[in-house]
Amino acid sequence: MRRVALVMLLAAAQGASAQGDAKRGAYLAKAAGCLGCHTETKQEAMPYAGGRALKTPFGTFYGPNLTPHPSAGLGRWSEADFVRALRLGLRPDGAHYFPAFPYPSFARISDADLRDLWAYLRTLPSSARPNQAHELRFPFGWRFLVAGWKWLFFSPGALIAEPKRSPSLDRGAYLVEALGHCGECHTARNFLGGPKRERQLAGAAKGPDGDRVPNLTPTKLKKWNDGELKSFLQTGLTPDGDVAAETMGEVIRNTTAELTPNDLAALIAYLRALPAIADEPN
């Protein structure tokens, strides 16, 4: 009897060690801004229960329910399903996700971090809120067309470590390009919605909601010193006392304001080290 209990205990301990760390996952979810797109904007909205409307030139997407509810959320998913969704943009049944879900950036997240994110999502209170169908303009609602988009614009795989880069700059690159998905708004897109890779983080005349998104590369990023930039990314206030527009304001509240001092410093150092690119003509 004792022996059986011991074996079970050992098995449980092994299971636990193979599982991700939910506490780390909670921090990573902030660094990746998962909350905003997966939570309604109303006051009493349940976190991660889905229903957030995301307006894009292709129509309105609704972030789905990520809580562990067995039918409304991800209750029946395995960790492997989750990894495939973020790495390859594939649904458990093999259909393609629309890139309004920024998996082209999340594909760069490390294996260990994906595990921790998954462990965190498993700890969320369950919500029965049903998912809403996206309202997309013809023909963008056809999921199979996403296969063509991915063929053109999506390259799965981890972030390539640059041999000459310091660990802090590598961390900054990871926070900006993988978790923070800053380029999803700050990199201009072509008419098919594919990012213009040669204009990485150099701003967009028309961002996701049609407004201009500023160029983050050196010389074009506002003439703020590191302290001013840091304070903007923590509070949303500019040195002249202006408030960031809401699109960025939300990124600041949910993401950059939540970063540890070391991570925020690494993120800023990475922006400073980007190649300078001129603004896109209007």
Q: Give residues in contact with ligand HEC (CB under 6 A).
A: 29, 32-34, 37-38, 54, 61, 63-64, 66, 82, 85, 91, 97-98, 100-102, 106, 117, 176, 180-182, 184-186, 207-208, 211, 213-214, 216, 221-222, 229, 232, 244-245, 247-248, 251, 255-256, 267
With respect to ligand HEC, which residue has the nearer C-beta, 14 or 78?
78
Rounded to a whole number of angstroms, the minimum distance from the CB of residue 7 to ligand HEC is 34
CA separation for the pair 109, 179 (Å, rounded): 7
With respect to ligand HEC, which residue has the nearer C-beta, 165 or 239?
239
Rounded to a whole number of angstroms, the minimum distance from the CB of residue 4 to ligand HEC is 37
Question: Taking the alpha carbons of 199, 258, 43, 66 in that order, is the dihedral positive or negative?
Answer: positive
CA separation for the pair 261, 267 (Å, rounded): 10
Identify whether the C-beta of residue 159 lies closer than 8 Å to the C-beta of residue 173. yes
Rounded to a whole number of angstroms, the minimum distance from the CB of residue 151 to ligand HEC is 16
With respect to ligand HEC, which residue has the nearer C-beta, 14 or 222?
222
Query: In terms of Cα–Cα distance, which of 216, 226, 220, 224 is closest to 240?
Result: 224
Between the alpha carbon of residue 110 and those of residues 52, 87, 106, 161, 198, the distances in Å are 27, 10, 9, 12, 24
With respect to ligand HEC, which residue has the nearer C-beta, 165 or 234?
234
Rounded to a whole number of angstroms, the minimum distance from the CB of residue 14 to ligand HEC is 26
CA separation for the pair 36, 13 (Å, rounded): 34
